Copies of this chain bind each other. A is one copy, B any other.
Amino acid sequence: MSHNSFGHLFRITTWGESHGPAIGCVVDGCPPRLALTEADIQPFLDRRRPGQSKFVTQRQEPDRVRILSGVFEGQTTGTPIALLIENTDQRSKDYGEIKDRYRPGHADLTYDLKYGIRDYRGGGRSSARETAMRVAAGAVARKVLEGVTIRGALVQMGPDRIDRAAWDWAAVEENAFWCPDRAAAARWEAMLTEARKSGSSLGAVIEVVAEGVPPGLGAPIYGKLDADIAAGLMGINAVKGVEIGEGFAAAALSGESNADEMRMGPDGRVLFGDNHAGGILGGISTGQPIIARFAVKPTSSILTPRKSVDRFGQEVEVLTKGRHDPCVGIRAVPVGEAMLALVLADHLLRHRAQNPDAPGEARLPRN
């Protein structure tokens, strides 16, 4: 058991605080002989990196990842892959005034109650900076998931939901919000500018999708594929809800509307009439796209003063200057993709262990 590891056979262990000398990750269990260099990882970090637009924190970290072990002459060796990013732009002085104050909506109080000590600089271990290592590890996981495409998009900002009919994956790369609906993206730009100016912040809902996942990944009871995805996404900073496929809306459907009908495809593969299940039935992948959504609360670091207490038991007012994203949900998009990749890579290895011939043979008739 570890409090800082995720996964079982494809397993990551991260370390590091926001304002320490570096953050890092050990990726253990990666199969050998996969081509891997820093260049495979860096683009994913660049997508997540702060400082890219006025809508994300202006902290300027190059976030240059180094591979320190586990790769030899451009190939994974099967031994642990250590990844490291140096912290280069820590303005620790910004945090002096919250040294003894517990910011509302943050982990300041709970860390102190748990450990009796905390590195308060920039949130220390609870900073979203740690998610850079998830994104880096997720890039390695993608190498394991040959033939699987994992993408994410922001489908709601504040109360404003996109129009699914307008969904265009190409649009996602065109705007600062990873928004697949061009009209929504335009609305959000105005909305977020307003929130930022007023010292407020906005929440968001992100959808991540994995296509090309072979059927049969998962486990029947605990460690179900959807349970592991739920843990992975709920474990991202500021996330308060997770759903698979139809999600909470499934509760309002009738049984005959919700259960996806099946028919035979030309090649012996089973086709589904719809995908309310989000690609998972009984904790095991069906072969359809895996669809998950998660809700990110509005940034708790805001310029509006809020009532709180300090570690001396005094009531105080707190407002967070620093440099912060008015909508942390935006940067959660690549993190959500990474967590989905990590879960799938782990389950792919787990499946192989118990089923040496599979996956692959997902055709009917069965022998």
Which of B16, B23, B79, B261 meets A17, CB within 8 Å? B79
Interface size on A, residues (CB 8 A): 168
Are B114 and A218 touching (Cβ within 8 A)?
yes
For residue A91, give the distance in angstroms from its CB to the closest CB of chain B.
17
Is there a chain B Cβ closer than 8 Å to A138's Cβ?
A: no
Which of B117, B257, B302, B359 meets A33, CB within 8 Å? B117
Are A23 and B117 touching (Cβ within 8 A)?
no
Is there a chain B Cβ closer than 8 Å to A46's Cβ?
A: no
Given A79-B124, A102-B262, A216-B110, answer yes or no on A242-B245 (Cβ-Cβ < 8 Å): no
Instruction: Determine the residue in chain B with the shortest Cβ distance to A78.
Output: B115
Are B79 and A220 touching (Cβ within 8 A)?
yes
With the chains together, A196 CA to B239 CA distance in Å?
Answer: 37
Kindly list chain B residues whose C-beta atoms are within 8 Å of the C-beta of A169: none
> Interface stretch among A37-45, A47-55, A175-183, A344-352?
A344-352
Residue among A15, A107, A361, A364 facing the most chain B CB atoms (10 A cut-off): A15
Q: Oligomeric state, in number of copies?
A: 4
With the chains together, A105 CA to B221 CA distance in Å?
Answer: 16
Beta-carbon contacts under 8 Å, A287-322 to B = 287, 295-302, 304, 306-315
- Contacts A1-B8, A22-B82, A114-B351 known; list 17 others, CB within 8 Å: A2-B11, A2-B223, A4-B221, A4-B222, A16-B80, A72-B119, A77-B117, A107-B284, A110-B216, A111-B284, A113-B286, A205-B251, A230-B231, A234-B244, A264-B315, A276-B297, A349-B353
Can you show 30 pairs from A to B with CB atoms below 8 A apart? A1-B223, A3-B29, A5-B222, A15-B68, A15-B79, A32-B115, A76-B117, A105-B281, A110-B216, A110-B281, A110-B284, A111-B220, A112-B366, A114-B215, A156-B252, A201-B255, A203-B251, A226-B235, A230-B233, A241-B247, A242-B243, A251-B329, A258-B297, A259-B306, A262-B307, A262-B309, A263-B309, A264-B309, A352-B353, A352-B356
